[in-house]
Amino acid sequence: MLVLPAELTHAQATACCRMLAQALRSEPGREAVADASALRDFDSSALAVLLECRREALALGKQFAVSHMHPRLRALATLYGVAELLPETAATPVAG
């Protein structure tokens, strides 16, 4: 699983892309899932990072999905017309 940081704005985008691409290349399996549950402070750069992860995953022959996408990020993806490129995984219910 690829884990997004709590803050992902233009200032962190390049470093985050590098980190996630490295993790993606070392992760076994045919599916790559980006966990966005920690993401709280972000701008449209977060979409660029996710789209780059998707591109990298597809180049490696992997499927790509996002888990726990913040509703505001989903709204941005819809606004920019890229929501269908960032499918969400089924959320796992949290106990308690």
**Residue 34 belongs to a domain with what CATH number?**
3.30.750.24
Identify the helix (H) or strand (E) that includes residue 35.
strand 31-35
11-38: per-residue pLDDT in tens?
Answer: 999 999 999 999 999 988 899 999 999 9
* pLDDT at res. 27: 85
31-88: per-residue pLDDT in tens?
Answer: 999 999 999 999 999 999 999 999 999 999 999 999 999 999 999 999 999 999 999 9
Q: Name residues whose C-beta falls within 8 Å of residue 49's C-beta, 6 or more positions apart in sequence.
A: 4, 8, 13, 16, 17, 20
Q: For residue 36, how many other CB atoms are within 10 A of its CB?
A: 24
Burial of 90 (0-12, 13-18, 19+ CB in 10 A): exposed
Domain count, the chain: 1
* pLDDT bracket for residue 4 (50, 70, 90): very high
Q: Which residues pair with 7 in a beta bridge?
A: 41
Residue 92 lies in a domain: no
Q: Which residues pair with 32 in a beta bridge?
A: 64
pTM, entire model = 0.89
Helix (H, G, I), strand (E, B) or coil at 5: coil
Domain that holds residue 40: 2-85
* pLDDT at res. 1: 87
* pLDDT at res. 90: 66
Q: For residue 71, how many other CB atoms are within 10 A of its CB?
A: 7
* pLDDT at res. 82: 97
Residue 90 lies in a domain: no
Residue 93 lies in a domain: no
